[in-house]
């Protein structure tokens, strides 16, 4: 054997596990100077240190007293633990911050100018879009600055705020640019939720219905029994709904075996394949929660037509969603694409492309039981959409 021409290969496997943990705090009056929750969260690793922090605040928030002044007063009260690197910075709320990369660059410039290091804090106060964008900035600055989320909407408190994803949109594709990066801490303040406009309160309930449908039949039953309280935004019902929904999301992320979605499945995204596309088709005039409600109704009917879900259960689901305040049809659902096909169906391809691998869609095998399928019958899905449209017209 000619050893000079022999190919020699050695493979060394590098393996390590990185544990993640962060507190999710449910409180009221997070910026009340007498409330230690935020200070304690920032000091949990280095109790004696004075921590530099930058706050990015959703400019749509209207609070009494003014939110910026409240943050500054809180930092002043706890000056031994918190140093504001600059005055709180207002950023656009809603999808605008996720669709214009200028805002990402501007926030990164702020952190650069302030010489923030990896032990400093980037604190986002706002809805899910603000948390997503600020989280991306924090995760990509110095390869990771500590990020604290203070969600201010129902949807952000019960779902995205406790997750591990950050991202912004590009070329009309939702969350095309992003990272998996867990936050340092999450603080949910019920007072923000109770001050929301009615539409935003309703929209956030979609995620609670969703997670109950695929993970917890008992929780779905609780929502049904308390739908009057939820429809009128009663404090105790809203608090329980948000907390239980967040707990179920946290359980899936922590115990589901794939927190960073390395596989082909997105088990928490029931109703989302069409919801993401509907948001895009309406240029986000339909809110995320509103689109998810429609997507859940559509996939519930499809589940019945596919023989997975007992007939009549889709009506039960739709009735609950409507009672909570959702409309379950939008004309954009039947808008034609360039190929003459309903544009909404492109959402199936977009959903698969986002993760890669085989198409994986969560449907229902029963209330509280999600099931993954890898093929969607387009004719059957069209039938489900026709049913949804006819039902809305009744």
Q: What pLDDT is recorded for position 265?
A: 60
For residues 159 and 245, the answer to whether their CB atoms sit within 8 Å is yes
- 1 pLDDT higher than 60: no
* Structural domains for the chain: 24-194 (3.40.50.1970), 203-251+262-393 (1.20.1090.10)
- 244 pLDDT higher than 90: yes
At 26 the three-state DSSP class reads strand
Q: Is 324 left (phi over 0), alpha (psi -120 to 50) or beta?
A: alpha
For residues 328 and 309, the answer to whether their CB atoms sit within 8 Å is no
Average pLDDT value for residue range 256-284: 83
- The whole-angstrom separation of Cα 110 and Cα 122 is 11
Average pLDDT value for residue range 290-294: 97
Condensed to tens digits (0 to 9), the pLDDT of residues 144-182 reads 999 999 999 999 999 889 999 999 988 878 888 999 999
Q: What pLDDT is recorded for position 173?
A: 80
- 64 pLDDT higher than 60: no
* CA nearest to 159, candidates 196, 202, 128, 130: 128
Give the helix ranges, DSSP H, for the chain: 37-42, 67-77, 96-99, 102-113, 128-140, 154-158, 190-194, 198-215, 217-225, 227-231, 235-255, 272-281, 288-305, 313-324, 346-355, 378-393
- 3 pLDDT higher than 80: no
- 4 pLDDT higher than 70: no
Cα maximum dimension of the chain: 83
- 277 pLDDT higher than 60: yes
Residue 254: alpha-carbon gap to chain centroid? 16
For residues 301 and 382, the answer to whether their CB atoms sit within 8 Å is no
Q: How confident is the model at residue 337 (pLDDT cuts 50, 70, 90)?
A: confident
Q: What pLDDT is recorded for position 348?
A: 87
User: How is residue 363 annotated by DSSP?
Assistant: E
């Amino acid at each position: 054997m000619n050893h000079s021409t022999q190919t020699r290969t050695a493979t060394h496997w590098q393996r390590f596990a990185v544990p993640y943990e962060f507190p999710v705090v449910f409180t009221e009056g997070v910026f009340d100077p007498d409330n230690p929750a935020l200070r304690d969260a920032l000091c949990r690793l280095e109790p004696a240190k004075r921590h530099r922090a930058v706050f990015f605040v959703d400019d749509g928030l209207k609070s009494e007293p003014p939110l910026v002044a409240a943050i500054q007063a809180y930092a002043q009260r706890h000056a031994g633990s918190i140093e504001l690197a600059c005055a709180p910075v207002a950023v656009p709320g809603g999808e605008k911050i996720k669709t214009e990369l200028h805002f990402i660059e501007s926030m990164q410039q702020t952190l650069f100018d302030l010489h923030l290091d990896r032990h400093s804090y980037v604190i986002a106060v706002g809805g899910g879009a603000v948390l997503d964008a600020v989280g991306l900035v924090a995760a990509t600055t110095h390869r990771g600055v500590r990020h604290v989320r203070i969600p201010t909407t129902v949807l952000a408190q019960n779902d995205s705020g406790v997750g591990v994803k950050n991202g912004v949109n590009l070329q009309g594709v939702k969350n095309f640019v992003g990272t998996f990066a867990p936050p340092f801490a999450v603080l949910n303040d019920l007072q923000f939720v109770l001050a929301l406009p009615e539409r935003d309160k309703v929209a956030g309930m979609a995620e609670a219905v969703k997670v109950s449908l695929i993970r917890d039949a008992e929780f779905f039953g609780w929502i049904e029994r308390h739908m009057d309280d939820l429809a009128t935004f009663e404090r105790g019902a809203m608090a329980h709904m948000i907390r239980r929904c967040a707990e179920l999301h946290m359980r899936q992320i922590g115990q589901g075996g794939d927190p960073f979605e390395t596989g082909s499945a997105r088990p928490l995204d029931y109703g989302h394949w069409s919801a993401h596309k509907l948001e895009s088709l309406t240029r986000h005039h339909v809110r995320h929660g509103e689109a998810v409600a429609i997507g859940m109704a559509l996939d519930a009917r499809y589940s019945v037509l596919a023989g997975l879900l007992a007939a009549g259960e889709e009506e039960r689901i739709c009735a609950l969603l409507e009672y909570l305040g959702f409309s379950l049809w939008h004309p954009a659902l039947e808008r034609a694409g360039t190929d003459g096909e309903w544009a909404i169906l492109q959402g199936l391809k977009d959903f698969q492309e986002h993760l890669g691998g085989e198409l994986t869609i969560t449907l229902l095998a029963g209330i509280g039981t999600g099931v993954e399928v890898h093929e969607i019958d387009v004719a059957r899905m069209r039938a489900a959409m026709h049913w949804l449209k006819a039902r809305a017209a009744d």
